[in-house]
Structure 1
């Protein structure tokens, strides 16, 4: 097997001292070292009085353009929010604004990251049925009927990272006139994405987009499918300029910016712009191939440990998202991660699994080392797959 070199040296990122392999990007990615320069640029320009009216549109314009390339849409279909949760709340609210009846239903996955089902839970107050499906494409499609108004899911199974067949689900949703909103936080920039089949996408920016901060999120609104999207709450930034005195008349912006109620998180957008500039030289195919091949190598090295580990993620890279999940109790996984951190290896855990997520700064050598040291730690801790504690 040909060894893969990192697409970007680890030295270009801010990493914990002594890092030998960082595979915790599914939890939170490493920021680029240029983040400090981006922050300083923001400070310099934001303190120039009304000159910010020249600076801020440049930041938002370029950042929208860079974000639009991630999903093949126009910059006018990009809206900024403070995080993915806020984005989901806004989008679910936009569905509610279209009117819902007590015999309608909404579909989500019970085994999702809690943000997704929580954002639709509020619709129960309208008498809407919330259908919590198993985390399979077939189960989601089977739950759709003529009264389905919304499908809100992640791009992949949160626990196993198995990809859903999103286009099949979207086709089934639109066949009954339902909206479909996808949280792509764990695949944005990792895998090819297209906005066209969906009504909206949402993502955080501090994982695979390299923006470090949890102060910015992205919504992509398909204006062809959802031209009249209307937010529940409107602020000055969502509307065309108003001449005082306010008469009660206003017009929403004709772009996705109508979801941006107030001033944008300018500091974090400056940092996001800087991070996305770093991704621009790489094709999506190049990044996807890198992540998938390293994922295959991680699985192969885990098998070589001969410890009886249960790999929850698909072995077929075409069916897998951004990370590899290994079955492990949270209590033991926490102790394993702490032990590995002392040795310069960083993984993440939660919901009954250990996660290994390779990114641009990883290569064959460091992921192999990470798995070898993981094996050493597990043997030191007397790992036994049949012991219930694990």
Structure 2
């Protein structure tokens, strides 16, 4: 099916209807040409439309000052909605269930303040072992905030001995075993280290069966794998936008709250002016009355200049379509996997799932030795991928701007390193 040749890769690019979007992004330069950038899982590239989009807001600020809130080309009063609406398809949510605000970890804390309401009986949180540090720190401090011992209140599900991936059966078994004490299941939708995509639907259903809430950190899912948060009954989710969504460094985060919770006025949440009911917001009165949407969790005015790059990128996502992007992504990683199987002379193991339906646009290569050295050689050769301790190089072809030639050139470099080992 696949061929380890440049001519094959070039032929696939010619047939790829999404290849035209590659020209809409800037690539870092290495040795006078575009770098082979396979690091969209860490920071997405800049869309060429960003500069004009920022200049538009600068011009409107110059021309209108405060009146830009209603007179700008994109009135600032509603700026978060220019980003939240395009996200609804890829996240499987209604407009009322989704918003963009703050950053990922801030949003995680805000959501846990609403959905982690521990009691003496039901106080435990289930998360994956080796979750991204921010998630670990957020859960640890939330548990302490409520007066519980993290060593007791936090349950971690790990891969079985000798394995790298967490089995769904083990997650479900722990949920059932801790049914009386479990308050919240909080997993990364895709594990940042291995690239494993968890079965969000099955995990959510299991959590609900025992009376626990189900929340997810979708930092590595948003813009990568389409999900159906509403239909799956997920209680809440949070994500960043600087990875696959190309929102720029430190860009605004996103949040989903299922509609069964958005109109629950008794649900505890932190209040802020921009989360208050719009019809009474400008009356400047006491008494927080949250909007009956996910925007009821917003605290402050939309951060226009922290959203504008995301807005520009999402226009490309809407044009391309998340379903088509997922199809191409699956083929790119399958092709990458095939090519890596041809490499001889370097000791490494692909620890991402073999089944392409159980991973996103990332393959994690575990090197038992020389991994750091090999990563440095790749960097010198014009390949941009990232290194994660203790021994993983993560390779992530983003389908919106990466090509089959990118994947092949990565293979050429690692094969060359292997031949000189």
**How does the TM-score come out when normalised to structure 1?**
0.90
Aligned to 1:24, the other structure's residue is in SS state: coil
1:256 to 294, 311, 324: 294
Distance 2:343 2:282 in 1: 69
**Shift, 1:34, TM fit:** 1.2
Of 64, 71, 77, the match for 1:57: 77
Please point out which of 324, 328, 335 is paired with 2:363.
Answer: 324
In the alignment, what sits opposite 2:394? 355
Among candidates 317, 320, 340, match of residue 378 of structure 2: 340
More helix by share: 2
Instruction: Write out per-residue CA displacement over residues 252-284 of structure 1, whole angstroms, 9 at most, x where no aligned residue.
Output: 122211211112221121211111001112232
How much does 1:80 deviate?
A: 2.1
Could you tell me which runs of 5 or more consecutive residues in structure 2 were left unpaired when the two chains were aligned.
3-7, 159-165
> Distance in 2 between the 1:260 and 1:302 partners?
45
For residue 151 of structure 1, the aligned residue among 185, 188, 206 is 185
1:324-351 CA distances to partner (integer Å, 9 max, x unpaired)? 010026x944443333233221111203
Matched, 1:132 2:142: no
Deviations 1:8-59 (A, max 9, x none): 4543212111224211111111111111111111212233223222111353
Query: Shift of residue 297 of structure 1?
Result: 0.9
Whole-angstrom distance in 2 between the partners of 1:321 and 1:296: 11
Q: How many angstroms apart in 1 are the aligned matches of 2:273 and 2:78?
A: 20
Match of residue 111 from structure 1: 130
After superposition, the Cα gap between the structure-2 partners of 1:378 and 1:51, relative to the gap in structure 1 and judged at 3 Å, is farther
1:245 positional shift: 7.0
Alignment partners' CA distance in 1, 2:261 and 2:138: 22
Q: Aligned pair in 2 of structure 1 residues 66, 143: CA closer, same or farther (>3 Å)? A: same
Partner of 1:186: 220
Matches within 5 A, 1:274-293: 274-293=312-331
Separation (CA, whole Å) in 2 of partners of 1:292 and 1:121: 35
Contact 1:182/1:200 (8 A) holds in 2:
yes
* Partners of 2:269 and 2:297 within 8 A in 1: no
Contact 2:274 2:299 in 1 (8 A): yes
8 Å Cα contact 1:161/1:313 also seen in 2: yes
Query: Where do 1:1-390 residues align within 5 Å?
Result: 1=2, 3=9, 4-5=12-13, 7-9=18-20, 10-17=22-29, 18-47=33-62, 48-54=64-70, 55-96=75-116, 98-101=117-120, 103-125=122-144, 126-127=147-148, 129-134=153-158, 135-144=166-175, 145-196=179-230, 197=232, 198-225=234-261, 227-228=263-264, 230=267, 232-240=269-277, 241-242=280-281, 246=285, 248-307=286-345, 308-328=347-367, 332-351=370-389, 352-359=391-398, 360-380=400-420, 382=421
Deviations 1:290-342 (A, max 9, x none): 1111101111111111234211112221122220010026x944443333233
Q: Residue 73 of structure 1: SS of its match in structure 2? A: coil
Give unpaired runs (5+ residues) of structure 1: 383-390
Instruction: Kindly indicate whether the alpha-carbon contact (under 8 Å) linking 1:231 and 1:258 is maintained by their aligned counterparts in 2.
Output: no
Quick one: structure 1 residues 288 and 139, their matched pair in 2 at CA, closer, same or farther if it must change by over 3 Å? same
SS in 2 for 1:120: helix
Deviation string, structure 1 residues 110-130 (Cα, Å, up to 9, x no partner):
221112222111243232611
- d(CA) in 2 for partners of 1:305, 1:88: 41
Matched pairs, number: 378
Deviations along 1:136-171, one digit per CA (max 9) or x if unpaired, are: 322222221122111110112332212212111111
Q: CA 1:83–1:332 in 2, change beyond 3 Å: closer, same or farther?
A: farther
The answer to whether the Cα contact below 8 Å between 1:149 and 1:179 also exists between their aligned partners in 2 is: yes
Query: Which has the larger displacement, 355-364 or 57-66?
Result: 57-66
Q: CA shift at 1:225, angstroms?
A: 4.8
**What secondary structure is seen at the aligned counterpart in 2 of 1:28?**
coil
Task: Let me know the Cα RMSD of the aligned residues.
Answer: 2.2
Query: What's the counterpart of residue 385 of structure 1?
Result: none
Note if contact 1:20-1:366 (Cα within 8 Å) is conserved in structure 2.
Answer: no
Range 332-341 or range 168-177, more displaced: 332-341
Change (3 A) 1:130 1:41: same
